[in-house]
């Protein structure tokens, strides 16, 4: 039986002035030959995390360019 993993991450960026921008990324993939479920999860999570943080950084950059303070966790 094939192992299938799904990772979904979300992050809400406070854009200031009562505006927010939510970044949500998700990938579902099968474990590769010889790959454990944990290895597959770690691989997929690393990719999802990279995509999400790239978009969060871009949102913060755009918000800063507009002169708004950006916060969040």
Inside any domain, residue 72 = no
Tokens matching residue 70: 């950006």
Domain count, the chain: 1
At residue 70, what are phi and psi to the nearest 5 degrees?
-115, 130
Inside any domain, residue 71 = no
- pLDDT tens digits for 4-40? 999 999 999 887 778 888 999 999 999 999 999 999 9
Domain enclosing residue 8, as ranges: 4-65
CA dist 27 and 44 (Å) reads 7
Inside any domain, residue 13 = yes
Inside any domain, residue 73 = no
Banded model confidence at residue 67, pLDDT cuts 50, 70, 90: low
pTM score, whole prediction? 0.75
């Amino acid at each position: 039986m094939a192992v299938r993993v799904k990772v979904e991450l979300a992050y809400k960026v406070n854009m200031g002035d009562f505006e927010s921008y939510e970044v949500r990324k998700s990938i579902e993939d099968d474990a590769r030959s010889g790959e454990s479920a944990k290895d597959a999860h770690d691989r997929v999570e690393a990719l999802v995390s990279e995509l999400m943080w790239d978009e969060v950084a871009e949102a913060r950059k755009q918000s800063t360019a507009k002169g708004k303070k950006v916060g969040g966790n």
